[in-house]
């Protein structure tokens, strides 16, 4: 069994070596940045580690094209950590305000910490060449549009075909980090008062336009800096994700004690939001026990309670037989609406994945619909911008489900109509990309 590497002394080479180790699973399709261990370096280097990893993934199509141009021959698969170091070095030179001598010297030197001293000369030569020929080399690789726009070809082509008016703005938003948005717990405070508490702490922000509970910060901060975080006064959640509670409000607000299912609930942000807003009996279901433990931690911090079920929502062996008044299906999806927060999607997601995800979404819809009482509401949600997972999925469901009708509101200020649902796109300094469709089971 591998052991976690203890934090080292905090020199520049160590944090770059740690970034390379963290990127290897992404580059080799063996894992994601979800497993990034920020505690593998000393506290003062954790922000840099995260920036090196997430920034490299965000710019990956362009960085890989430049690396291929700089190298006489590709590294062997066993040297994917050196490939990662090269990408990290290119990222620093082109996108960070790190002095060039430090970006080159510390990155090349980090190869020694990976046990590959031979690579220091290769890395040093490649990065110094990039310094000398930066403008020419960048112009050369940018002849390929997917490189210049930093998206894999399949995704760029799909977005352009599906969203001919929005695709360019969409990809520009994907290439920028998402803002830090908070959800104020209205059981404890109102958001105007909490915004005042933030201002007193020197944390500036603004009220979200669409979520009545949201505040977007001008700059991200550690959650430990947020007033009342440990006491459950506030949580971190994107504005688009907060809209699920808004859409379910008409079904839940008039029904104290309503029986509600949150299927595929982890990591628990929407679960908690519903419990903050409404007096309901909520069952939170997820097939991943570790992620379900995160839901439990979230609810404990907020002082909320739900029935947690470790089960597969495509099956019914967990169901008591009592119909639900409302179901939130936040379905597994491509994550193409949250690429800016999970930039490794650019490397890890494949075109063929979309068909498989759409099949799973269809199974979830068909399995959960009979669990809903007549007159009940099901809210379908994804953090995708692909119609195959969204509008087309709901259109097909309605066609084969005669007792389902759509009640997605049209008189709202966010998103655009998309089939029988509502599509939001990621916006710079604002919400993520999301899709919602609200369905009601009518009397047979």
In the predicted structure, residue 280 carries a pLDDT above the cut 90: yes
Q: What is the mean pLDDT of residues 412-434?
A: 97
Q: What is the pLDDT of residues 256-273, one digit of tens each?
A: 899 999 999 999 999 999
Q: What whole-number distance in Å separates Cα of residue 194 and Cα of residue 216?
A: 12
Q: Which long-range contacts (CB under 8 A, 24 or more apart) does 139-147 make?
A: 140/69, 141/62, 141/65, 141/66, 141/69, 142/62, 144/65, 146/61, 147/61, 147/62, 147/65
pLDDT per residue over 114-166, tens digit each? Answer: 999 999 999 999 999 999 999 999 999 999 999 999 999 999 999 999 999 99
Across 383-397, average pLDDT? 98
pLDDT band at 1 (very low <50, low <70, confident <90, very high): very low
Structural domain boundaries in the chain? 12-144, 181-236, 239-441
Measured between alpha carbons, how far is 217 from 325 in angstroms, rounded to an integer? 35
What pLDDT sits at residue 196?
97
Contact present, 318 and 298 (Cβ < 8 Å): no
Give residues with Cβ within 8 angstroms of 262, minimum separation 6.
270, 271, 274, 282, 283, 284, 285, 306, 328, 330
92 within 8 A of 126, measured Cβ to Cβ: no
Domain formed by 181-236, architecture: 2-Layer Sandwich (3.30)
Q: What is the pLDDT of residue 43?
A: 87
In sequence order, what are the beta bridge partners of 283?
261, 307
Residue among 252, 325, 265, 331 at smallest CA distance from 294 = 265
- The pLDDT of 66-84, averaged and rounded, is 96
Tell me the mean pLDDT in the region 281-287. Answer: 97
In this predicted model, what pLDDT tens digit does every residue of 322-367 receive, in sequence order?
999 999 999 999 999 999 999 999 999 999 999 999 999 999 999 9
400: its two tokens: 């084969």
With 50 as the cut, is the pLDDT of residue 6 above it?
no
The pLDDT assigned to 444 comes to 64
Helix (H) / strand (E) containing 244: helix 239-252
**pLDDT over 70 (residue 2):** no
CB 406 within 8 A of CB 391: no
- Would you state the pLDDT for residue 38? 87
Element at 377 (helix H, strand E): strand 372-382
Please list the active-site residues: 383
Q: What DSSP character marks residue 220?
A: -
CA–CA separation, 438 and 325 (whole Å): 13
Report residue 213 as tokens: 């509970």
Say what the pLDDT of residue 182 is.
98
> How far does the chain reach from its first CA to its final CA, in angstroms?
57
Tell the burial category of 182 from Cβ atoms under 10 Å away from its Cβ (0-12, 13-18, 19+): buried
Is the confidence at residue 5, as pLDDT, over 60?
A: no
Answer whether residue 443 shows pLDDT above 60. yes
pTM tops 0.85: yes
Query: Which bin fits 389, alpha (ψ -120 to 50), beta or left (φ > 0)?
Result: alpha
Place of tokens 């439990």: 296
Q: Tokens 């819809």 map to which residue?
A: 365
pLDDT of 25 over the 80 cut:
yes
35 — pLDDT class (breaks 50, 70, 90): confident
Q: Is the pLDDT of residue 173 over 50?
A: yes
User: Which residue intervals of 153-217 are DSSP H helices?
Assistant: 153-162, 167-174, 191-200
Place of tokens 């903050």: 276
Which of 3.40.50.1370, 3.40.50.150, 1.10.3720.10, 3.40.50.2300 would CATH assign to domain 239-441? Answer: 3.40.50.150
List, in sequence order, every residue forming a beta bridge with 261; answer none if it has no partner. 283, 327
Q: For the domain bounded by 12-144, which CATH number is listed? A: 1.10.940.10
Residue 214's DSSP bridge partners are 183
Residues 6 or more apart whose CB falls under 8 angstroms from that of 376 comprise 251, 323, 324, 325, 326, 327, 440, 441
């Amino acid at each position: 069994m591998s052991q976690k590497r203890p934090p080292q002394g905090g020199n520049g080479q160590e944090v770059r070596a740690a970034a390379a180790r963290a990127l290897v699973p992404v580059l080799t399709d063996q894992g994601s940045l979800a497993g990034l261990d920020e505690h593998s370096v000393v506290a003062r280097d954790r922000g840099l580690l995260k920036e090196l990893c997430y920034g490299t993934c965000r710019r990956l199509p362009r960085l890989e094209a430049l690396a291929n141009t700089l190298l006489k021959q590709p590294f062997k698969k066993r040297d994917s950590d050196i490939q990662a170091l090269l990408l990290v070095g290119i990222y620093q030179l082109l996108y960070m305000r790190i002095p060039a001598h430090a970006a080159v010297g510390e990155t090349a030197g980090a190869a020694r910490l990976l046990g590959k001293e031979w690579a220091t000369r290769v890395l040093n030569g490649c990065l110094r060449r990039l310094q000398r020929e930066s403008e020419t080399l960048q112009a050369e690789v940018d002849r390929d549009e997917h490189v210049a726009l930093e998206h894999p070809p399949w995704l760029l082509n799909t977005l352009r075909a599906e969203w001919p008016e929005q695709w360019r703005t969409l990809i520009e938003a994907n290439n920028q980090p998402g803002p830090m948005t908070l959800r104020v717990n209205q059981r404890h405070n109102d958001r105007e008062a909490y915004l005042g508490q933030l201002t007193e702490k020197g944390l500036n922000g603004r009220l979200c336009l669409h979520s009545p509970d949201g505040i977007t910060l001008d700059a991200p901060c550690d959650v430990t800096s947020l007033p009342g975080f440990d006491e459950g006064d506030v949580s971190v959640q994107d504005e688009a994700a907060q809209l699920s509670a808004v859409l379910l409000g008409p079904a839940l607000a008039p029904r104290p004690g309503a029986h509600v299912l949150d299927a595929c609930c982890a990591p628990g942000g929407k679960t908690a939001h519903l419990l903050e807003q409404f007096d309901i009996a909520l069952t939170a279901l997820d097939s991943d026990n570790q992620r379900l433990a995160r839901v439990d931690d979230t609810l404990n911090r907020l002082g909320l309670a739900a029935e947690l079920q470790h089960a597969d929502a495509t099956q019914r062996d967990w169901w008591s037989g009592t119909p639900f008044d409302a179901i939130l299906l936040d379905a597994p999806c491509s994550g193409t609406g949250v690429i800016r927060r999970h930039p490794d999607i650019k490397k890890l997601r494949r075109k063929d994945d979309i068909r498989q995800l759409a099949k799973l979404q269809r199974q979830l819809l068909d399995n959960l619909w009979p669990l809903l009482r007549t007159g009940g509401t099901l809210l379908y949600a994804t953090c995708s911008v692909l119609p195959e997972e969204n509008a087309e999925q709901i259109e097909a469901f309605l066609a084969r489900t005669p007792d389902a009708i759509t009640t997605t509101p049209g008189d709202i200020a966010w998103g655009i109509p998309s089939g029988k649902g509502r599509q939001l796109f990621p916006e710079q300094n604002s919400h993520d990309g999301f899709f919602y469709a609200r369905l009601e089971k009518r009397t047979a």
